[in-house]
Amino acid sequence: MILESLVVGLFQENCYVFGDEESGTGVIIDPGDEATRIALAVEQTGLEIEKILLTHAHIDHIGAVAELAQEYACPVLIHPEAEPMLRQAPAQAVMMGIRFGKAPEVDGYMQEGEPVEVGNLSLDPLYTPGHAPGHLSLYCADEGLVFAGDALFAGSIGRTDLPGGDHQTLLASIREKLLALPDETRVYPGHGPSTTIGDERRSNPFLAGGAAF
């Protein structure tokens, strides 16, 4: 396995370059900004990028999608329920006082129960809405890790006060899908440091009845 993490953009979002070392194929997960930096990181890995995968369509996770999709001539995959928000990216940007170009095109969909192959590795989409419509977490059982997007963080959970958010839905997603994974599973979130499922099960205060922020 090859895994590179970059913190990009105004919102300090975690973008991941993930791939299978044996086959040399890889994906980019949530390229939120700084396409050139991400492309340089890809070059250092030596991976051939086959897909761009989006956990959800909030603007901090999609800012470099269009440029990188053109750079690698690769498809962009997302959950179908997230596509309407993706198309509203320019409007999201205006609301936040930032500029955004044309909304990225969607080339295909990810659904729970339909693994995404990355060379000899496999990412299983887990449907984890609540922070955003159509939110997915991407679980690699072979490597014991999950890309949790903005569902679960180290010591926190995703905010639910944005359009399409719902606190109880998010809690149900975390408990039914993420906390069902083995305790040793490494969690790579959309912001902040990595953690493990076991650590969050034991000590995350928001899973003991707290409110999201």
Task: Name the pLDDT band for 100 (thresholds 50, 70, 90).
Answer: confident
Predicted local distance difference test score (pLDDT) of residue 17: 98
CB 95 within 8 Å of CB 64: no
Least reliable range by pLDDT among 6-20, 84-98, 148-162: 84-98
**Tokens 């500029």 appear where?**
99
Per domain, the residue ranges of the chain are: 2-208
Instruction: State yes or no: pLDDT of 197 exceeds 80.
Output: yes
Taking the domain 2-208, which CATH number applies? 3.60.15.10
Instruction: State yes or no: pLDDT of 210 exceeds 50.
Output: no
Mean pLDDT taken over the chain: 94
Q: What is the pLDDT of residues 173-190, one digit of tens each?
A: 999 999 999 999 999 999
Task: Name the pLDDT band for 53 (thresholds 50, 70, 90).
Answer: very high
Predicted local distance difference test score (pLDDT) of residue 213: 33
Q: What is the mean pLDDT of residues 12-33?
A: 97
CB 25 within 8 Å of CB 38: no
Q: Name the β-bridge partners of 125.
A: 138
- The Cβ-side half-sphere exposure at 150, using a 13 Å CA radius, reads 28
Residue 174 dihedral angles phi and psi, to the nearest 5°:
-65, -45
Instruction: State yes or no: pLDDT of 161 exceeds 50.
Output: yes
**CB neighbours (10 Å) of residue 210?**
11
